[in-house]
Each structure stands twice: as structure tokens, then as C-alpha cells.
């Protein structure tokens, strides 16, 4: 990913906006963009979702494979989350081997889903020590106008909840829905013009500093955190965004469970 | 192409498994402006194929060594998303994708007025998010709509259609089952206003008569698809 | 505004040839503002000249772009629905400094190729090797295109009235072909917008705008730009 040029004027304007409690697109500090979730959009995937947040669009698809369980965990299947941001998603994304940015994206989303325990890997075992299901969640960005993290996480969990284990195709019994017991939701905050805002757009990301990602489970338990990019933040700032994350996560959870 | 002649893909009335006549094309939808951050974009569904194409540019060509002093370069990537096929497609380098990217670029270079943009690059990203059969045709056709949407000057749109042979009968636009048992495949890229060709591949086995038939099916189908492309680009105006 | 320059025999689209409505009373009047697509046949070429977005192939006019067909006098052209900025000598542009050497700045002017600003055309007297003290990477400047070669090597200058480094306000962007609408007939639309928003607005030909004023004013201008872009994107949707 070629580092895009950050005009100094943009940074100055963003901090000017922040000191007047305003944002580039007229949103409030804690307002998200209009979010749309569609499920079952990909005919070849066993579970799928498309999330649209303003001009950010992502797809998530779930596929299943048969794997041999690891010797130390003979009764467990696997969950894998892979993320690709290819050149379709924006001028600044390039093809080639996965960039550190897209690897970070995939791993942060993966941790949130894995650590929430929403998928019971013991359930995925077919024959202990021999055969188990591997669930693969593929995240694909179509249009990047900022905050791919939240869009990926939302699409990812929605696609898993929509997934069916294709047992008939592999000739091992009947198709059953994948059991997903929880709904972990991620909220991301970017420091723009000296203060944290929720759901930053691309221009805010470009002219902003560090970002913090929080994944909360059903009972507001924290499942993953990530601080990215250069920047310093205080404990008070963190407490404030944590408060907001709790209310926003439950809104988004209702959308997924809907 | 296997040539499994024992599987019956065409019934006694000459209709195919999905009810189409031999010369019929699967249902198609075309939508532009689907990637808001791109200069031009197109989503095309063709049967259960779905391609999303974004065009960026003309923009500065990096690295410098790819720049051409007399014209723009087309940077085409064709990629199948991991979830686009029945068995998961592993992401990463893939010889098939590379070849299709190259022939798609070759076809589009024949129509885009590259000499107007020396030293620059036009980037075309073709993502197949759902694959049935004939994804290269969908990708190329959608790419030409996306280029038009981006305002890139070109002498004509490119329509790509494939015909093939099943059970010794020549049919147009093979679907997945037909493709699995197909005995030949002839994808073509046609310029609808002149009837000229910019893209041609073929594999399998066709007699001279069958070849002529497949060729004619492709030409007729291309004109039909072209009407849909024009409608999509005009957005219901005129 | 400089006279229409011709590149490789192509009359180039300019703001003054991209008016919203054609005032031409040509024989093709009935076909005015028709939306056309690349490859579309626009009739015989005899008696007509091919303007922007139009080619002559075998004695017939053919569109090369998606856009609205315009007939002005005997020139048939296509006003595109989407364009990339192509610099021409004399254009006022807003650029960002993206790099520099001891005696040259590299300027991103939103075109398919960057420009150079040599030290001699800079805003102030510079010591050799002191370029970053005057204009640093990330700074934005108001400059004018001095020269564009056929191979797209281009030079910008800051010698001229009003050309300077931009130190305050905000930048925004619209597609270059919408500038005609933004300015309006005789500059009316832009003048009204300036009065209403109480902002200083400089419209550069590469589609970048410098808006200087208080935040309310900047928001007013921004909303207006958003509407303009949405309106222009109406054509070309689902089929």
C-alpha cells in the first residue's frame, strides 16, 4: 500500500472542526454512518453477508473444509479468518502479497470472533483424531471509505450466523446450521483532530492519528482490543470510548440478531 | 473438457436442463456506480455469476519502470474471491487468473484510446464474487461497462460471450453443469458496432460446421447483451 | 482562459465548452443532450467536426465516451458524465507538494501525472537546498500550469497574481466536468454561493476548491457540492 500524501491543510482543518465539536460530514462525535446489513448474498458461499456503511462496502463469505484435527486437540475442528483488501477497494490499495495493514485487519477481526467463543470447536469434530470441520471466514473489501474494521467484523459474524454446514456435499449426514452461540461486535474509534470519534471516514483516517478497536461480547465482556498507528491516549479517553462502545455494540447486535 | 457423452443435457424437444433453447443466454443484470470510491464501476450478474469491477484512473503509473512514454498502461487484475466457488479458492498467486488478466488487458487495450494518456496507468480490478461458468466473459464485459462509467475514451464497448458443445449439440452460454460435461468452449470478445473481434479463445473439439454455429450464436448473443449494457449506461434515459 | 488547445488532433473538453445547455441551433437540434455510450454512431461526419469525445470512423461520427451529446455550430461533442482532470497550460490549479529535491518540488495536481515546480518559479527566493523551508511536503499551493508536453511532462509556476501557499481554510473536490455548473452562467451560481456562505471560494480547474471562512459557511458550501455531485450522477443506474 503506497502511503498516501496527507495534506497539512486537512489536518489543520480536522483539528479546527474538532475544537468546534464538528466533523467533516456533519456527524456528531459518536455518530456512525448509515449501516445496512444484507445476509445470504453470495450463492456459492455456505453463509454470507454484505455490509454497507456510508461508502464503505464489504463482503463476507463462509466456506467449510474437512481437516485432520491437530494431534494435541483430537476432538476439535478449526476456525480460520482471512482477510483480503485488494486493489478494487480503493486507489491506495494495491495487489500483491497481503500488506501488513490487511493482515492486521484480518487478525483483529479473527481474535474478536475466536475469543468470544461463539463457535464451539468441539462441535465441529466428525471423527475424533481423524476428521473435523474447518470453518473459513473470508472477508473481502469492495469499497474502502474508512473503518473497514467494523464493517468486516459485522459482516463476519453475520455471515457465520447465516452459515449452513454442507454435510450432504461431503457425504457425512445432513446439512445443519452452524451453531453460533454469541454475537461479538466490534467498535472502532479514531483520534481525529485531537479527540476520539466513532466510525471514521477515509478522509478522517487519512488526517487522523491512532485508532482503537474494541470487541464486546453479549454480556459486555471484552474479547479483543487493538491500538493501531502512531499516537498516545489517556486512561480517561479510553473509559469514555468504552462507555460508548457498550451502547453502540448492543445496537449493532440487535441488527445482526434481528 | 472431458467429453462425457453419456450424460443427457438436452431433452427430446431440444431444450436444455434450465429450460433454455440452444441459442439462449442466461439472465443478466448490469448496475453501474457500485463502488462509490472508484472512478467507474460495474456489477454484473449473469446466471449465478457475479462480477464487480472498479476502474481507477487514469492516474500516475508507479513504479516508474512500467510507464510508457507514448501511451497509458492498463493494469488489469482478474481475481476469484475465495468464496466464489463450491470448493474454497485459495487466495494468492494463480496461473489461471494471471492468464485471464492478461487476455482481458489485451482485449481492452484494443479499444481504449491509450495514446491520450502517456505515462499514466488505468487500473481495472475484476473481482468474481460468485462463479458459475464463463467468468472470463462476465469479467471482460463488466470491465468495459466500468471503463465507460469512468469516462475513459474508447472506440467501442466489448461484449464477451462463450458458446460450447454438449451431447454433440452446439449451445450458447454454458452454465455450470453444462460446462462440466461440455465438449468444447469458444469464448469470444466482440465489438458490437463493427462486429470485429478483440478476444478469442477455444478449447475442445468442434467440426467446421459446429464451429460456424458456435460463432454465429456468439455474435447474436453479443448483440443482445450489448443492448443491456447500453441500457445500463444510459440509466433509462432516451 | 486560454484558447482551446488541441492534443493529437483532439479538441479538449474545457469549461467553456461544457455548458449545461447547448445554445446551438444546428440541424441536429432534436438530438441535443442525448445520452450516448462509447461506440455509438452519431451520424454522418460530412459537414460536421468531431469535438470532445467524438471520433470520425469511415465517414461517420462515433462517440468514445459515456455522456450527453452536444451540437454547437458544426461541432459535435460528448459532455462526459465522469472525467479525470487533464492539465493544460494556463490552468489555475490547487496542488499538494509530494516531494522535493535541492532545486525542484514535485506537485500532485490531481492529474494522471505529477508536475514539477522548479526553484526559479517558486514563491520566494530559495537557497539551493532550502526548498523544504519554503514549501514543505504536505503543503498545498495555488499555482498555474506553465507547460504540458505531449509526453505529459508538466511544469507549474507560482509566479503570478494571487498564486501562493494556502495556509488556512479547507479544501474540497468535485469532478472537473461539474465546474461549469458550479460556476454557472456568467459566474452567477458561484457568486450566490459566496454571498450565502460568506466564504472566500477559489475554484481551481483541477476540481479542487479552496474554501476559506467560518465553519458554518464551509458546511454550506460542502453541502452544495454534495448535491451537485449527486445530481450529476443520476444518469446510469440499475437496468
Inside any domain, residue C127: yes
Q: What percent of chain A has pLDDT over 70?
A: 99
A-chain residue closest to B60, CA distance = A91
Whichever domain contains C37, its CATH number is 2.40.50.100
Integer distance in angstroms from the first to the last C-alpha of chain A?
37
**3-state secondary structure at position B47:** coil
The answer to whether C138 and C96 are in contact (CB under 8 A) is yes
Q: Do A86 and B130 touch (CB under 8 A)?
A: no
**Cross-strand partners of B134:** none
CA distances from C129 to C134, C156, C160 (A): 11, 19, 24
Answer yes or no: is pLDDT of C156 > 80: yes
pLDDT at C235: 52
Same domain, yes or no, for C108 and C128?
Answer: yes
pLDDT for A2-22, tens place per residue?
578 899 999 999 999 999 999
Whichever domain contains B79, its CATH number is 3.30.230.70
Inside any domain, residue B213: yes
Q: Which three cell numbers stand for residue A247?
A: 451502547
Inside any domain, residue C184: yes
CA distances from C44 to A16, B155, B192, C49, C77 (A): 57, 16, 19, 10, 14
**3-state secondary structure at position C238:** strand
pLDDT for C75-123, tens place per residue?
999 988 888 899 999 999 999 999 999 989 999 999 998 899 999 999 8
Which residues form the domain of C156? 92-166
CA distance A17 to chain C (A): 7
C-alpha–C-alpha distance, residues A114 and A223, integer Å: 9
Inside any domain, residue C238: no
Interface test with A, best of B37, B38, B75, B143 (most A CBs within 10 A): B37
The maximal CA–CA distance of chain A, rounded, in angstroms, is: 63
- Strand ranges inside chain B, DSSP E: 28-32, 40-46, 49-60, 73-80, 120-130, 159-166, 169-172, 184-191, 196-200, 203-204
Of C45, C80, C115, the last residue of a domain is C80
Annotation: CATH topology of A17-257: Ribosomal Protein S5; domain 2 (3.30.230)
C-alpha–C-alpha distance, residues B235 and B225, integer Å: 15
**Beta carbon pairs, A and B, within 8 Å:** 95
CA distance C83 to chain A (A): 16
Inside any domain, residue C198: yes
Of C138, C171, C219, which is closest to A5 when you measure between CB atoms?
A: C138
pLDDT at B102: 96
pLDDT at C233: 66
Q: What is the 3-state secondary structure (H, E, C) of chain A?
A: CCCCCCCHHHHHHHHHHHHCCCCCCCCCCCCCCCEEEEECCCCCCCEEEEEEECCEEEEEEEEEEEECCCCCCCCCCEEEEEEECCHHHCCCCCCCCCCHHHHHHHHHHHHHHHHCCCCCHHHHEEECCCEEEEEEEEEEEEECCCCHHHHHHHHHHHHHHCCEECCCCCCCCCCEECCCCCCCEEEEEEEECCEEEECCCHHHHHCCCCEEEEEECCCCCEEEEEEECCCCCCHHHHHHHHHHHHHHHHHHHHHHHC
Same domain, yes or no, for C107 and C45?
Answer: no
The answer to whether A13 and A25 are in contact (CB under 8 A) is no
Q: Is C106 on the interface with B (CB under 8 A)?
A: no
Confidence band of B42 (pLDDT split at 50, 70, 90)? very high
CA distances from C168 to B160, C205, C214 (A): 51, 20, 11
Cβ within 8 Å of residue C67, ≥6 positions away: B151, C35, C36, C53, C78, C79, C80, C81
**3-state secondary structure at position C173:** strand
Answer yes or no: is pLDDT of C17 > 60: no
Inside any domain, residue C32: yes
Inside any domain, residue B18: no
Inside any domain, residue C1: no
B-chain residue closest to C80, CA distance = B151
Number of Cβ within 10 Å of residue A157's Cβ equals 29
C-alpha–C-alpha distance, residues A58 and B193, integer Å: 36
C-alpha–C-alpha distance, residues A41 and B48, integer Å: 11
Q: Do B131 and A142 touch (CB under 8 A)?
A: no
Inside any domain, residue C144: yes
What is the complex's ipTM, to 2 decimals?
0.92
Q: Do B127 and A45 touch (CB under 8 A)?
A: no
Q: Is B100 left (phi over 0), alpha (psi -120 to 50) or beta?
A: alpha
pLDDT for A192-226, tens place per residue?
999 999 999 999 999 999 999 999 999 999 999 99
Q: Do B232 and C236 touch (CB under 8 A)?
A: yes
pLDDT at A96: 84
Q: Which subunits have 3 or more CB–CB pairs within 8 Å of chain B?
A: A, C
CA B113 to chain centre: 20
pLDDT at B6: 63
Q: Which three cell numbers stand for residue B212?
A: 460456424
Q: Do C239 and B236 touch (CB under 8 A)?
A: yes
**Helix axis angle, B208-234 relative to B135-149, nearest 10°?**
30
pTM here is: 0.91
The answer to whether A118 and A221 are in contact (CB under 8 A) is no
Confidence band of C32 (pLDDT split at 50, 70, 90)? very low
**Cross-strand partners of B29:** B45
Which residues form the domain of B159? 28-233
Q: Is residue A184 packed enough to be buried (19+ CB in 10 Å), middle (13-18) or exposed (0-12)?
A: buried
C-alpha–C-alpha distance, residues C82 and B40, integer Å: 8
Of C108, C142, C166, the last residue of a domain is C166
CA distance A1 to chain C (A): 16
The answer to whether C64 and C38 are in contact (CB under 8 A) is yes
- Alpha helices, H only, chain B: 95-109, 135-149, 176-181, 208-234
- The domain tally of chain C equals 3
Whichever domain contains C190, its CATH number is 3.30.1370.10
The answer to whether C113 and C98 are in contact (CB under 8 A) is no
**Helix axis angle, A148-161 relative to A235-257, nearest 10°?**
40
- The domain tally of chain B equals 1
pLDDT at A192: 95
Q: Do A9 and C98 touch (CB under 8 A)?
A: no
pLDDT mean across residues, chain C:
82
Of C113, C139, C166, the last residue of a domain is C166
Amino acid at each position: 500500500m503506497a502511503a498516501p500524501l496527507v495534506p497539512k491543510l486537512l489536518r489543520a482543518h480536522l483539528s479546527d472542526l474538532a475544537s468546534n465539536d464538528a466533523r467533516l460530514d456533519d456527524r456528531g462525535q459518536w455518530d456512525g454512518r448509515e449501516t445496512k446489513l444484507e445476509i445470504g448474498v453470495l450463492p456459492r458461499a455456505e453463509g454470507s453477508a454484505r455490509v454497507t456503511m456510508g461508502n464503505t462496502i464489504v463482503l463476507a463469505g463462509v466456506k467449510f473444509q474437512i481437516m485432520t484435527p491437530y494431534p494435541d486437540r483430537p476432538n476439535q475442528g478449526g476456525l480460520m479468518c482471512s482477510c483480503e483488501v485488494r486493489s478494487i477497494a480503493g486507489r491506495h490499495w494495491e495487489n500483491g502479497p497481503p500488506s501488513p495493514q490487511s493482515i492486521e485487519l484480518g487478525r483483529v477481526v479473527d481474535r474478536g470472533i475466536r475469543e468470544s467463543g461463539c463457535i464451539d470447536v468441539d462441535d465441529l469434530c466428525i471423527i475424533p483424531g481423524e476428521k473435523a470441520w474447518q470453518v473459513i471466514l473470508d472477508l473481502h473489501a469492495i469499497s474502502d471509505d474508512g473503518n473497514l474494521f467494523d464493517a468486516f467484523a459485522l459482516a463476519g459474524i453475520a455471515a457465520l450466523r447465516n452459515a449452513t454446514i454442507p454435510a450432504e456435499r461431503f457425504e457425512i449426514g445432513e446439512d445443519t446450521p452452524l451453531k453460533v452461540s454469541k454475537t461479538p461486535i466490534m467498535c472502532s474509534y479514531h483520534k481525529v483532530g485531537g479527540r476520539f470519534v466513532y466510525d471514521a471516514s477515509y478522509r478522517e483516517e487519512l488526517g487522523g492519528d491512532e485508532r482503537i478497536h474494541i470487541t464486546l461480547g453479549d454480556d459486555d465482556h471484552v474479547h479483543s482490543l487493538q491500538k493501531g498507528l502512531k499516537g498516545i491516549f489517556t486512561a480517561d479517553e479510553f473509559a469514555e470510548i468504552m462507555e460508548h462502545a457498550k451502547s453502540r455494540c448492543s445496537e449493532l447486535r440487535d441488527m445482526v440478531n434481528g | 473438457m472431458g467429453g462425457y457423452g453419456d450424460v443427457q443435457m438436452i431433452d427430446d424437444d431440444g431444450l436444455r436442463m434450465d429450460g433454455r433453447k440452444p441459442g439462449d443466454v442466461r439472465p443478466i443484470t448490469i448496475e453501474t456506480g457500485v463502488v462509490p470510491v472508484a472512478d467507474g464501476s460495474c456489477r454484473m450478474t449473469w446466471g449465478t455469476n457475479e462480477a464487480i469491477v472498479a476502474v481507477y484512473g487514469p492516474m500516475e503509473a508507479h513504479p516508474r519502470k512500467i510507464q510508457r512514454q507514448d501511451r497509458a498502461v492498463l493494469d488489469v487484475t482478474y481475481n476469484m474471491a475465495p468464496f466464489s466457488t463450491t470448493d474454497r479458492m485459495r487466495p494468492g498467486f494463480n496461473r489461471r487468473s494471471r492468464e485471464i488478466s492478461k487476455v482481458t488487458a489485451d482485449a481492452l487495450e484494443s479499444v481504449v484510446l491509450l495514446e491520450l494518456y502517456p505515462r499514466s496507468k488505468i487500473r481495472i480490478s475484476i473481482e468474481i464474487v460468485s462463479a458459475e461458468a464463463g467468468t472470463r466473459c462476465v469479467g471482460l464485459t463488466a470491465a468495459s461497462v466500468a471503463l465507460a462509467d469512468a469516462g475513459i475514451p474508447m472506440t467501442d464497448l466489448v461484449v464477451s460471450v462463450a458458446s460450447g458443445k454438449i451431447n454433440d449439440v452446439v449451445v450458447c452460454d454454458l452454465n455450470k453443469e453444462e460446462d462440466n460435461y461440455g465438449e468444447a468452449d469458444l469464448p469470444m470478445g466482440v465489438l458490437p458496432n463493427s462486429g470485429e473481434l478483440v478476444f478469442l479463445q477455444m478449447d475442445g473439439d468442434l467440426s467446421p460446421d459446429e464451429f460456424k454455429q458456435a460463432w454465429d450464436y456468439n455474435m447474436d448473443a453479443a448483440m443482445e447483451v450489448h443492448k443491456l449494457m447500453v441500457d445500463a449506461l444510459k440509466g433509462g434515459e432516451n | 482562459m486560454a484558447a482551446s488547445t488541441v492534443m493529437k488532433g483532439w479538441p479538449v473538453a474545457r469549461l467553456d465548452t461544457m455548458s449545461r445547455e447547448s445554445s446551438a441551433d444546428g440541424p441536429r437540434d432534436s438530438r441535443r443532450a442525448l445520452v450516448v455510450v462509447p461506440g455509438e454512431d452519431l451520424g454522418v461526419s460530412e459537414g460536421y467536426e468531431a469535438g470532445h469525445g467524438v471520433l470520425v470512423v469511415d465517414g461517420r461520427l462515433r462517440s468514445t465516451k459515456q455522456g450527453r451529446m452536444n451540437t454547437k455550430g458544426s461541432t459535435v461533442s460528448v459532455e462526459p458524465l465522469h472525467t479525470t482532470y487533464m492539465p493544460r497550460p494556463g490552468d489555475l490549479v490547487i496542488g499538494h507538494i509530494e516531494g522535493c529535491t535541492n532545486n525542484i518540488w514535485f506537485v500532485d495536481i490531481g492529474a494522471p501525472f505529477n508536475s514539477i515546480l522548479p526553484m526559479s518559479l517558486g514563491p520566494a527566493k530559495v537557497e539551493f537546498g532550502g526548498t523544504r523551508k519554503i514549501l514543505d511536503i504536505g503543503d498545498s499551493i495555488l499555482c498555474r500550469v506553465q507547460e504540458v508536453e505531449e509526453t505529459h511532462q508538466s511544469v507549474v509556476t507560482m509566479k503570478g497574481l494571487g498564486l501562493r501557499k494556502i495556509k488556512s481554510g479547507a479544501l474540497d473536490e468535485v469532478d472537473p466536468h461539474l465546474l461549469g455548473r458550479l460556476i454557472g452562467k456568467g459566474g452567477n451560481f458561484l457568486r450566490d454561493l459566496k454571498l450565502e456562505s460568506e466564504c472566500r471560494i477559489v475554484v481551481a480547474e483541477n476540481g479542487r476548491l479552496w474554501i476559506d471562512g467560518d465553519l458554518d459557511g464551509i458546511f454550506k458550501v460542502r453541502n452544495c457540492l454534495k448535491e451537485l455531485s449527486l445530481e450529476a450522477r443520476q444518469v446510469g443506474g440499475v437496468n
